[in-house]
Amino acid sequence: MNIYVGNLPWSLSDDDLQELFAEYGEVTNATIIADRDTGRSKGFGFVEMPDQGAGEKAVESLNGTTVDGRDIRVNEARSR
């Protein structure tokens, strides 16, 4: 399952994002999208979880929670 995570704190790293989701199941990839020119976080990222059930539980549990003072948005990513 591919999961979109928005409104992330600028200080969060890929590893922090992976850790956040790891308590719900296996995470195969966690990436925060960075600006090409500055390398600074754009404030959103994507997490891939192979187990659909674990992914849905993570979305349900984490959407609207506060991470470093910011309420994150978590939902299933839409295909391009």
User: Would you give per-residue pLDDT tens digits along the chain (80 residues)?
Assistant: 999 999 999 999 999 999 999 999 999 999 999 999 999 999 999 999 999 999 999 999 999 999 999 999 999 999 87
Please give the span between the terminal C-alpha atoms of the chain, in angstroms, as a whole number.
Answer: 15
pTM of the predicted structure, to 2 decimals: 0.94
CA-to-CA dists, residue 9 to 18, 27, 32, 51, 52, angstroms: 14, 20, 10, 26, 26
Long-range contacts of the stretch 18-21 (C-beta < 8 A, 24+): 18/47, 20/62, 20/67, 21/47, 21/49, 21/58, 21/62
CATH classification code of 2-64+71-76: 3.30.70.330
